[in-house]
Amino acid sequence: MAQQTQAAYYTEFGGIGKIQVGPLDLPEVGEGEVRVRVKAAGINPVDYIVREGHFQQVVPNAFPAVPGWDVAGIVEECGHGASRLPEGSEVYGYVRRPVVQHGTFAEHIVVPECYLALRPQRLSWQAAGGLPLAGLTAYQSVIVAGGLKAGETVLILGASGGVGGTAIQLAKNVGATVTAVASGQNADYMKELGADFTIDYKAGPVAEAVQKVAPQGVDLLFDAVSGDTLSQSLSALKPTGRLISVLNDGKALKLPASVHFAHVMAQPSVPGLNHLRELADAGKLAVPIAATFSLADTKKAFEQIESKHTTGKVVIVP
Ligand SMILES: NC(=O)c1ccc[n+]([C@@H]2O[C@H](COP(=O)([O-])OP(=O)(O)OC[C@H]3O[C@@H](n4cnc5c(N)ncnc54)[C@H](OP(=O)(O)O)[C@@H]3O)[C@@H](O)[C@H]2O)c1
């Protein structure tokens, strides 16, 4: 008989009400795979986008579907060929698989070892479980695609969320000057993460506020919000600046040809996870936790992330 695990899952696309929690069969541990005892699993906006069926064109789904792409946990069995992370290894990963079915909101998961890296020891389990997706997104956007360097200026939209909060810290680590945009109530939070200046997107056009702190314009605009806030911010970019968005494909933005644009879709990456671990273990990267929920309360975790106003990371602790 197959081994079972407690898991959150849904059997058809839809709203939060589709989430159930109960026992599911665990797959056999196959070639190159490991079984992990999940200690913490971060929830991300993509988890409700997938649950609502809006991601089917990009990644196919199979039911019952366990949501969740972030994980931190302990390797408890290694399949044939999985030898990099032996039994007992404390690991974390961004597990975006080719088919959405075996996600991370469960007590145990079976996962290809290639998604996992050793976890940051200086972070709590909750913080480690909340870092992979948001951390890799910020790193691949601001540092890799955006090429941010010491002495440059960056404007970060959505800077109090999981992605934006990590982006502030990565930008400060390379020696950039950071202007962070979120609601006014999060100004102190963004400053604690390292922001030099903060802007309340509800207080007026963002570019006018940027003009006061970066009169020459910014070298890099990192967009984790899109919509009106992005439209209002475009004129804050230097004529030869770079715009990196994790939401907008750039087609409707009518950018000058001199502006470099890229849309980033975060990719699973062990080297990227290793880099984030080194920063965290050096005390240069924190993961503030907004809330933790038990597996039984997975619906509440979805309610929080679907508010679109989470400060820090929401994490499920099975
Ligand atoms: N392409 C990719 O690979 C990728 C990867 C990760 C995330 N994403 C996307 O990136 C976005 C952010 O993800 P996340 O995990 O950071 O979300 P999150 O943790 O829910 O954070 C959202 C943040 O956006 C802020 N915000 C809301 N409306 C805003 C506005 N008009 N202007 C400025 N800030 C605003 C909120 O701050 P206040 O509460 O202060 O309003 C909140 O802190 C999501 O839409 C997600 O789907 C894409």
CB contact at 8 A, 198 and 168: no
Q: Residue 266, SS3?
A: coil
pLDDT mean values, one per 10 residues, the chain (318 residues): 94 98 97 98 98 93 97 98 97 97 98 98 98 98 98 98 98 98 98 98 95 96 97 96 97 94 98 98 98 98 97 98
Q: Which atom of ligand 1 is nearest to the CA of 157?
A: 33
| Interatomic CA distance for residues 246 and 198, integer angstroms | 21
Q: Measured in angstroms, how far is the CA atom of residue 163 from the centroid of ligand 1?
A: 7
Q: Ligand 1 centre and the CA of 223: distance in Å?
A: 9
Q: Residue 1: its pLDDT value, please?
A: 74
- Neighbouring residues of 56: CB distance < 8 A, sequence distance ≥ 6: none
Looking up tokens 């469960």 gives 106
310: tokens are 């989470």
User: Is 139 strand, coil or helix?
Assistant: helix
To test the pocket of ligand 1, the residue of 163, 186, 305 to mutate (highest count of ligand atoms within 8 Å of its CB) is 163
Which residue, chain included where needed, has tokens 């992605």?
A: 163
Q: CA 266 to CA 179: how far, in whole Å?
A: 23
pLDDT of residue 4: 97
Identify which of 87, 142, 94, 141 has the alpha carbon closest to the alpha carbon of residue 117: 94
Domain limits, CATH 3.40.50.720, in the chain = 137-263
Per-residue model confidence (pLDDT) at position 2 = 84
Residue 93's identity, in one-letter code, is G
What is the Cα 168 distance to its own chain's centre?
Answer: 14
Q: Where in the chain is the domain with CATH 3.90.180.10?
A: 4-131+287-317
Within 6 Å (CB) of ligand 1, which residues are found?
Answer: 44-46, 133-134, 137, 157-158, 160-164, 181-183, 186, 201, 224-225, 229, 246-247, 264-266, 305, 308-311
What is the dotted CATH code of the domain comprising 4-131+287-317?
3.90.180.10
- Please give the distance, rounded to the nearest whole angstrom, from the Cα atom of residue 165 to the centre of ligand 1: 10
Give CA–CA dist 58/134, Å, rounded.
19
| Other beta carbons less than 10 A from residue 204's beta carbon | 11
Fold of 137-263: Rossmann fold (3.40.50)
Tokens of 126: 């909750």
- Say which amino acid occupies 9: Y
Q: What is the pLDDT of residue 95?
A: 98
Q: State pTM to two decimals.
A: 0.98
